[in-house]
Structure 1
Amino acid sequence: MSGIVAIKGTQAYKDTMVKMLDKLKHRGPQKQNIFPSYASNVLIGECNLEYELSKIDESQNPIDNKNHNINLALDGEPLMEGKRLSRNDLIKLFQREGPEFVKFLGDGFALIYTDGKELYAARDIFGRRPLYYGHDSSNNIYFASEMKALTEICEEIKIFPPGYYYSQDDGFNKYTSIPHFESNIDEEPGSKDYYEKSARLKYLLIKAVADSWETGKEPGIFLSGGVDSSVVAAALANLTDKPIHTFAVGIEDSEDIKNAEEVSQYLGTEHTVLTYTEEDMFEVLPEVIYYLESFDVELVNSSIANYLVSKLAKSNNFEITLSGEGADELFGGYHHLKDCKSDEQLNEALEGLLKGLHNGGLQRVDRMTNAHSLNCRMPFLHSYIINYALKIPCDWKISGNGMEKLILRQAFDGDLPEQVLWRKKAQFGIGSGNEKAMEKIIDSEITDQEYYDNKEKHGIDFKSKEEYFYFKIFHKFFPEKSQTKTVNRWLV
């Protein structure tokens, strides 16, 4: 994890870049680099964690950089053919393949490259790592990992689109697309092929967890007690005899707390729980919205739990955690998907969910973990899991009786408590107890008149008084209309 920034214009002022990086210091508070350049109109920089920098020995693959103009700022851990690439690897690949070198990279990244004169930026296909851009009144262009680094500089701020690269000569270019789910001939869930494919899925998920976990470190997992995070914990239990640390948060007696405890006892993890009150939720709400950069009601509600569980893991000295993010989009985990009338309709809906991940679930996980300088890895979003999920028959994802993520549950049948593995999904913010608690208090604070007046004033059809309440906080930090337009409002 890192925070990356860039300036391209008539003059790239170093003091402006320092201010931009200061706004991103939570993404890497231990090290700040502004890369030297002999050209006055291009400047790039990043802030990092020391342990992230120490993992890659740049001296192993040096580049020819006599004038020290060639530099690359990187957020993420790009892979090629299973190998994690260093900064110098990426520069060499760019020099050999040209602007479309990012086609060869897997997993999550955002990067900015310069040779001292030209500027190039790119973002991965799903937008696992954030990136924004904007222009000032002199038409200089700026890039930054989070919108907050651009708010005092740019007149208009936009999301850098996932699956695109930017070059000075050609502007924004799409280099890849969200993969398509295949429409399969329906097969019975109880068929031989079904069980064989569920066993294969289990093998691949264990491999994905192994690739995400750094051997030598005691693993930490966000455990909501739902299927996705429980599967990640069960996969890890197949890999190590080391203590597995699980972290759970929620309002006392919430479903998340109860189910996470049951999974922890079943797997024998070292379990840490934080219960919080409604007052605690309101206390952290401004911080959550500031770091999240959204006011969408569902996203904020689920982010409160993510923020607090990230804080809990960091306070226990963890640098890396694992999450179950991505399973719902790949295996049909959302309730509204059950309304799809055909395989084609379901596949189209799943592709839409993948396209919205970058400013939905991935934004929540990235911002809430980075708010505490924590690196979160998501095994479900490894390329081989995604490619496998694309070919799974729709009836194996959502069964005829409405059981979501059927084949994922089958893959770990016997590895988790039956009542946890086979219970129906609750959204993270709901299972933790957040949604009803927030809604009840806010509804009593906002009058109908204020609610309807501000719908008209801001031109936003707020989904509820609760969303309007979150918008009021968001608007204090991000007052411009272009900043509001970056917010993805779930199910609107």
Structure 2
Amino acid sequence: MCGIAGLINPSGKAIAALDLQMMSAAMEHRGPDDLGFMGWGENAKLCIEREAGVAIQDSQVAFAHRRLSIIDEGEGGWQPMATKDGRFVLTFNGEIYNYVELKLELESEGLNFTTSSDTEVLLQALSSWGVEKTLPRLTGMFAFAVLDTKSKTVTLARDPFGIKPLSYAMSKGGLAFASELTSLLMLSGVDRTVEPSALYDYLRFGFTDRGARTLFAGIQHLPAAHFAVVNLDRPDVVKPQRYWQAELKPVRDISFEAATTELRTLFKESVRLHLRADVPVGAALSGGIDSSAVVGVMRDLEGPDLDLHTFTFIAPGSDLNEENWADMAAKSVQATQHKISMTGKELVSELDHLIQIQGEPFGSTSIFAQNRVFKLAKDNNIKVTLDGQGADEILGGYMPFLAARLATMIKSGQWLKAVKLLNSIDGKRGTFLRAMRFVLPTFLQGPARRIIGESLVPAWMNGDWFKRHGVNIQAPQKPVSGDVLRHELLESLTDRILPALLRYQDHNSMAHSVESRVPFLTTKIVDFIYSLPEEFLISNDGETKSIFRAAMRGLVPDEILDRRDKIGFAAPEEQWLKESGAWLDDVLSSDIMKTIPAFDAEGMAQEIKAVQMGQKRLTGDVWRWINLVRWAETFDVSFEK
């Protein structure tokens, strides 16, 4: 795993070495082991060096690479990497887990290799098969740029789920791309104005990373499962193309037992591939089903020789504390445990730095806890971790998915099953009301929200400002036909939930030079899960992840598999904010808070008063106000009037 950046200028306009040096320096944490630069142009021969000034003199195209050595730690994995004939040059962030198998295939076609790195395998594959034929064959997490000096193009690409980030912006008439927004913001001319639609989604729903949008109007993400071919004569034109689609498959005619066996096989194979590394591998462990399954399979595959270390956030004195469960999981696999806890004062002292790391506002304080877990891994000399990210989105692990399952039953007239499901879960009223959002026609979903007190424009929000700037204020549309749960899982995977979580996780782990791997997220697993009937995912008696629980019997303690509560990777947000005391008041009463036009001054004043008097809980929207204020000041963000 690494950091990549690049600049593409129109013909006749040379790149400034200082620009690329600043972009590279901004992401040093992503690759402290080595660095490299590449330059090429119509009037400049291909040059790859460790000094930017030497490499990119008179160049039209320039790449920067920061290396975190995981596979082939020596010179064999150094980047940017070029083919022998100099036609193709690659800068690549991530891991290709099936590189061994791909290498054998390429060797059978007569290709020779000079290194043992997955980078060379990817480069040779792109050179031999082309981008469009290579991408579907990759199992891994990746973002890369490849220059073709013959066709005079640069192709940008990103893995199917967006595990590895890649963003781009226009600067000085050319195109800039990078692993992190902070690298792009080193350049002059990048628009720091807030994108109103993205701001609305963040403030109202906590959504970020939806499609190509960022909260900066001048920066876009290359969407997951896309590539874009950029012609050097028109670097201002970027047209992403999709190469894989997560989609609902026709429901398979398969028994629960057969599906359980197949899922167990797929998951174990994925973990096996994700364990490939030339450095120590550990695991982030919460004590939930997903992370416990990861460590259980790690031990099962590697046997007693694996020196397994786990890293856990604990919240003493909180209902969110899963320490006992994490202890049970770690003991079952004989892991060496490492734990960390933190306080609200620590959050306050580190918040601005965390915002700098993330580049955009984030949805909850759990991101702080996650960041500290990766620091704990770094402090214990672990360079790679595996965890359970993505399992909830593909298997139906979140409690709101119960409402979607209930809605499917109601829509299909399974009334007795619906009553049984509702009676089996806590929070019956809330689950039923959520289910009604799916059952009601689209035109009634808005009024229903207002009836239950979930306005699309709360009193603290300046709805007129958003409308004036073209924001279409409406609730996320719910499906009104078909299998509701399966549709909700797809939305969570591709749009509302997982893309942001993956960005948080990447930036948190790489801030400490740790590579975080997510074995639940392979196209084989997702395609399989999305072909199963809903009752395999959430049973008729309300058991979430039903098929995965069954698949992990014998690998994970039954007490963990039989858990019916769901905490997730959560932090005691309200407790931490209460501990922050005067700091919270200072942020809410700051000058910048008063000047953000997205806030309604009178409505916000009343909300702040309610917070200060203890009449409003310190969760959700309060956290997002704080985060937005600190982000806007940290990055000198501007707002349209």
TM-score range, shorter chain: 0.7 to 0.9
1:401 lines up with 2:547 in the alignment: no
2:636 match:
479
Q: Give the alignment partner of residue 68 of structure 2, picking from 49, 56, 65.
A: 49
Give 1:315 deviation, angstroms. 0.5
Q: Does the 8 A contact of 2:362 with 2:624 survive in 1?
A: yes
C-alpha distance 115-196 of structure 1, shift in aligned 2 (>3 A): closer
Give 1:401 deviation, angstroms. 2.8
Query: In the aligned structure 2, how far is the partner of 1:200 from the partner of 1:452?
Result: 58
Query: In the aligned structure 1, how far is the partner of 2:88 from the partner of 2:386?
Result: 34
Query: In the aligned structure 2, how far is the partner of 1:373 from the partner of 1:110?
Result: 17
C-alpha distance 479-256 of structure 1, shift in aligned 2 (>3 A): farther
2:14 match:
11
1:140 lines up with 2:155 in the alignment: no
Please, which runs of 5 or more residues in structure 1 have no aligned partner?
188-192, 485-492
| Cα deviation digits, residues 273-309 of structure 1 (max 9, x gap) | 12222222333322222212232333xx221121111
1:32 match:
35
1:181 match:
248
1:490 match:
none
Query: In the aligned structure 1, how far is the partner of 2:128 from the partner of 2:532?
Result: 37
Q: Does the 8 A contact of 2:72 with 2:278 survive in 1?
A: no
1:159 lines up with 2:221 in the alignment: yes
Paired AA for residue 179 in structure 1: A
Q: Does the 8 A contact of 1:198 with 1:407 survive in 2?
A: yes
C-alpha distance 324-425 of structure 1, shift in aligned 2 (>3 A): farther
Query: In the aligned structure 2, how far is the partner of 1:159 from the partner of 1:175?
Result: 14
Equivalent residue of 2:326, what SS?
A: helix
Query: In the aligned structure 1, how far is the partner of 2:403 from the partner of 2:581?
Result: 30
Superposed, which structure 2 residues align to 1:59-70 within 5 Å? 65-66=84-85, 68=86, 70=88
1:316 lines up with 2:473 in the alignment: no
C-alpha distance 416-210 of structure 1, shift in aligned 2 (>3 A): same
Q: Give the alignment partner of residue 123 of structure 2, picking from 83, 87, 91.
A: 91
Paired AA for residue 484 in structure 2: Q
Equivalent residue of 1:54, what SS?
A: coil
Greater shift, 341-350 or 319-328, is seen at: 341-350
Query: In the aligned structure 1, how far is the partner of 2:588 from the partner of 2:342?
Result: 32
C-alpha distance 460-162 of structure 1, shift in aligned 2 (>3 A): farther
Equivalent residue of 2:92, what SS?
A: strand
| Cα deviation digits, residues 156-203 of structure 1 (max 9, x gap) | 11112222222224732313243212353899xxxxx21232233222
Q: Give the alignment partner of residue 232 of structure 1, picking from 294, 310, 315.
A: 294
Paired AA for residue 626 in structure 2: F
| Cα deviation digits, residues 113-171 of structure 1 (max 9, x gap) | 113543221112211110110012x3211000000001132221111222222222473
Paired AA for residue 125 in structure 2: L
1:417 lines up with 2:557 in the alignment: yes
C-alpha distance 172-455 of structure 1, shift in aligned 2 (>3 A): farther
1:241 match:
304
Paired AA for residue 344 in structure 2: E
Superposed, which structure 2 residues align to 1:201-280 within 5 Å? 201-214=263-276, 218-239=280-301, 240-242=303-305, 243-254=307-318, 255-280=321-346
C-alpha distance 107-214 of structure 1, shift in aligned 2 (>3 A): closer
Equivalent residue of 1:388, what SS?
A: helix
Query: In the aligned structure 2, how far is the partner of 1:56 from the partner of 1:199?
Result: 42
C-alpha distance 481-212 of structure 1, shift in aligned 2 (>3 A): farther
Query: In the aligned structure 1, how far is the partner of 2:166 from the partner of 2:372?
Result: 24
Query: In the aligned structure 1, how far is the partner of 2:390 from the partner of 2:634?
Result: 29
C-alpha distance 185-20 of structure 1, shift in aligned 2 (>3 A): closer
Please, which runs of 5 or more residues in structure 2 have no aligned partner?
45-58, 104-117, 192-217, 232-236, 409-481, 605-619
Q: Does the 8 A contact of 2:227 with 2:243 survive in 1?
A: no
C-alpha distance 230-452 of structure 1, shift in aligned 2 (>3 A): farther
1:127 match:
162
Q: Give the alignment partner of residue 283 of structure 1, picking from 349, 367, 379.
A: 349
2:25 match:
22
C-alpha distance 386-23 of structure 1, shift in aligned 2 (>3 A): same
2:202 match:
none
Q: Give the alignment partner of residue 294 of structure 1, picking from 360, 364, 380.
A: 360
1:390 match:
530
- Of all paired residues, the percent bearing the same amino acid is 23
Query: In the aligned structure 2, how far is the partner of 1:144 from the partner of 1:219?
Result: 27
Paired AA for residue 144 in structure 1: A
1:381 lines up with 2:521 in the alignment: yes
Equivalences, count: 470
C-alpha distance 121-442 of structure 1, shift in aligned 2 (>3 A): same
Query: In the aligned structure 1, how far is the partner of 2:540 from the partner of 2:75?
Result: 49
Paired AA for residue 223 in structure 2: P
Greater shift, 220-229 or 465-474, is seen at: 465-474
Superposed, which structure 2 residues align to 1:339-488 within 5 Å? 339-340=403-404, 341-342=407-408, 344-356=483-495, 359-430=499-570, 433-441=571-579, 445-446=584-585, 450=589, 454=593, 457-459=596-598, 463-480=620-637
| Cα deviation digits, residues 36-95 of structure 1 (max 9, x gap) | 425421111110024445379479xx97544x4631100012356863664344334334
Give 1:421 deviation, angstroms. 1.9
Query: In the aligned structure 2, how far is the partner of 1:186 from the partner of 1:118?
Result: 46
Larger Rg: 1 or 2? 2
Query: In the aligned structure 2, how far is the partner of 1:124 from the partner of 1:175?
Result: 11
Q: Does the 8 A contact of 2:97 with 2:276 survive in 1?
A: no
Paired AA for residue 521 in structure 2: L
Equivalent residue of 2:312, what SS?
A: strand
Equivalent residue of 2:348, what SS?
A: helix
C-alpha distance 247-139 of structure 1, shift in aligned 2 (>3 A): same
